[in-house]
A and B are shown apart, each in its own frame.
Chain A
Amino acid sequence: MELIKLDNISKFYGMGDATTVALDNLSFIVEKGEFVSIMGPSGSGKSTLMNIIGLLDTPTHGSYLLENKEVANLSQKDRARIRREKIGFIFQTFNLIPQLTVIENVALPLLYKGASYVKRMEAASKVLKSLDLGDREYYLPNQLSGGQRQRVAIARALINKPSLILADEPTGNVDSKTSENIMNILKDIHKKGNTILMVTHNPDLAEYGTRVIHVIDGQIEEKNRSTQNKKKATKKTNKKAGKK
C-alpha cells in the first residue's frame, strides 16, 4: 500500500535570475512499512524533500498524496493537523524545548491534539519507559547526554503513533557507539510496522534502511545499484537485526 506518492514535485526559491531549483520534477513512492534511507551531498535537496514530505513546506508545483489524499496545497491549519496526527519528527539537533522537562517535551504533541493532562502524562511516561528513560522523566534536557536526548526526541516522535517517522540525520550529533544504539532503536520501531524516512550522510547507517535513494541536484537518482543488490542489503540488515 502506498503511503507517500510524490508526482513531479518541484520547489523553487527566489525569483527571476535568482531562482534556485531545490527539487526538480521529482517523483517518488514510499510503501507502508518501508525504511527508506535518503542520501545525497549537501545542497542536493534532501532537506527540502523532507520538509515537503513532513508538510512543513509546500511544493511550488506537483502532487503529493499521503495515504491517498492530496496534501500538497492544504491550508496551514490542515497541515498542522496532519503533522500532529500522522507524522513524527526526529531531528539531528534533538530540538527539545529546554525549559520543559523530559516528560513535558514528550507529551507536547498530545497537548495540541487536545488530550487531558493525565492522559498526556500517562502516555508520555509509557513511551519513555519503553525507551529506558523512565528514571529521567523530570530531568531537563540539558541534564541528559546526547544519546538520552535523542531517545527523548524519538519518544516524542512516537507518542502520537504516527503513520510516518521522518528522521533528519538522527545520529549526526552523537558518538559512534550511541549512534549504533539509536539506529537499533529505529530498526526496532521499523520492525513494529512503522514507516521511516531517514536522511543520512553515512553509507553504513543508510544500510539499516530497506531501501536507499540518492538525491542529486533536486532529483532522485537510483544509483546503478540493481534491485538484487538492494535486496541483498536488506537481507544483510535483517540478519544484523536478527543477531541482536
Chain B
Amino acid sequence: MIWTNIKLALNSLRQSKLRSFLTMIAVIIGVAAFMIVTTTVEGLKSAASNEINELGGNLITVNSGKILYKDESGRQQFNFAASMGASTLTEKDLNDLRSLDGVKAAAPQVMISGEVEVKDKAFPSAFILATNEDYPSAFSQKVEKGEFFSDNLTNKNVVVVGSGVVAKGFSGASPLGSKILIRNQEFTVLGVMEEYKSSFNIGADLNNAIIIPVESAKELTGGTPVSIQEIDIQLDEGADANVQAEKINNKLLENHGGEDDFTVLKQDELIDLTGSLLDQIKKVSQAVSYIMLFVGSVVILLIMLITVKERTREIGIRKSIGATNSNILTQFLTEAVVLSWVGSLMGIALGFALGFAVKAAIDITPTYSINSIITVVIISTTIGAVGGFFPALQAARKDPVEALRYE
C-alpha cells in the first residue's frame, strides 16, 4: 500500500510539475543552505585540525587571559572578552617556561603595530610579529633562504620575512640583505620562511609575516616591556603533554602570585576549541536554514490544502469503493512527504553544486558525511509530515456523500 501511495504521489507530482516545483522551492533552498553550512563548517574544522597538527606533534599554547571556562553544567565555554585584556604574560614567564624540563622550544608572539615599507613602497598587508629564535622549532616551520636570527645578536635590526612578502614586495627576487623600513627604522632581511601552505589561517596569514627579534620590538616601542599575547611551546619528543601542561600551569601560577589569568591549551584542546567555535557558527547558520525549512513546511501545508479541496471528488470515489479514513490520511500524508523528499533531493544536489563553488571561492573542501544526509532525510520527512498532516486529516474526515457531490 505504501509503495502504491508513493507511486501515486510521484504521479500527481509529475502531472503538475510547475506547481510541485514552486511548492518545493523553499525546501530546496532550505536543504541546500543546511547542506552547504554543515559541510563547509565540517570542512573548515577538518582544515583547522590539519593545520594545528602541522604545527608539530606536541604543541602547547599559553594565552593571556582566562579565555576558557566551564559553566554550571560543566560545558566548556569561550570568553572572548578575556582575550582582549592587557596581557599579563611576561618575559620572565617565557624564560621560565623555556627552561622547564621536557620543553624543546618556547616562542612568544608579540604583535607590533606600525607601517612597513618594502622598496620605498608601503606594504599594508604585512603584520609585524616579534618572537625569539625558537620560533621555527615551536611552529615546525623551516627557513627556506638565509637564516633565522639567534639570541646572540650583534645586529638587532634584522628581519625574517614570509614567502608572501617576497612574492609581493620583492617581485619574487631574493630579498636577502635588502632593507625594509619598519616604523621608519631600517631592518636587514636575514632569511625567508618556507611558504606556509594553508587554506585555513589561524588569525593572520603567516606568509605576510615580518618577523623581528623581541629585543628590536622593545626599541621600536620606546624601550617599554613588550606585551606577550601568546607563548607557543613545542615539547620534547615523547614528553607527556598532560604532565607538561600541568607543570606549565603551576609555574605560571607561581609567577603570577596564584592569579589564574592565563589559559594553557594542549594541541587536542586547541583542535576542540576551534571545532567548538566553528560549531557555534554552524548552529547560528543552520538556524537560518531551519527558518527556510519551516517556510517550506507552511508552503506544503497550503498547497496540500488546495490539493485536498481540488480532489474532494476523488476522495469521495475512493471512500465509496472501500477506502477507510486512515487509507485516505496515509495517501495524502505520503504525497506531502514525497513532495518534501523530492525537494530535499534537489536541495542536496544544489548543496553539492554550491560545494564546488565554495571550493573555488575560498578553497575550503566541504566535508560530506552520512550523518548530514541522514539529518536531511529526517528533516524533510518531518517537514512533509508536519505540513501534510492537517490537510490529510481534513481529507480523511470528508463525508463521502458530500465529497461525491463536489463539482
Give me the interface of A with B, judged by CB distance under 8 Å.
51, 54, 56-57, 76-77, 80-81, 83-85, 89, 91, 95-97, 99, 108-109, 111-114, 117, 156, 160
Contacts and interface: CB of A to CB of B under 8 A. Distances in A.
A75 B227 CA distance: 83
Contacts, number: 62
Contacts of A109: 321-322
A232 B35 CA distance: 79
Q: Nearest 3 pairs between A and B by C-beta?
A: A84-B322, A80-B324, A109-B321
Q: Is the interface of B mostly helix, strand, loop or mixed?
A: helix
B79 to A, nearest CB: 61
Interface residues of B toward A: which range?
20 to 34
Interface stretch (B66-74, B97-105, B310-318, B357-365): B310-318
Interface string B291-328: 00000000000000000000001101111111111110
A99 B322 contact: no
Contacts of B15: 99
A96 B316 CA distance: 11
B150 interface: no
Given A76-B325, A77-B325, A112-B324, A56 B319 contact: yes
A80 B323 CA distance: 6
14 contacts: A76-B325, A77-B324, A77-B325, A77-B326, A81-B324, A89-B321, A97-B314, A97-B318, A99-B12, A108-B318, A108-B321, A111-B4, A112-B318, A113-B322
Contact of B321 (A76, A77, A83): A83
Contacts of B318: 97, 108, 112
A227 B401 CA distance: 34
Interface in B9-55: 11-12, 15
Contact of A112 (B11, B316, B327, B400): B327
Contact of B322 (A51, A83, A95, A97): A83
Nearest to A51: B401
B404 A97 contact: no
B173 interface: no
Contacts of B325: 76-77, 80
Nearest to B405: A47
Contact of B317 (A54, A84, A95): A95
B1 interface: yes
A54 B321 contact: no
Nearest to B325: A76
Given A57-B400, A95-B317, A111-B4, 20 more contacts: A56-B401, A76-B325, A77-B324, A77-B326, A80-B325, A81-B322, A83-B319, A83-B320, A83-B322, A97-B314, A97-B318, A99-B11, A99-B12, A99-B15, A109-B321, A111-B1, A112-B321, A112-B324, A112-B327, A113-B322
Contacts of A108: 318, 321
B335 to A, nearest CB: 12
B339 to A, nearest CB: 15
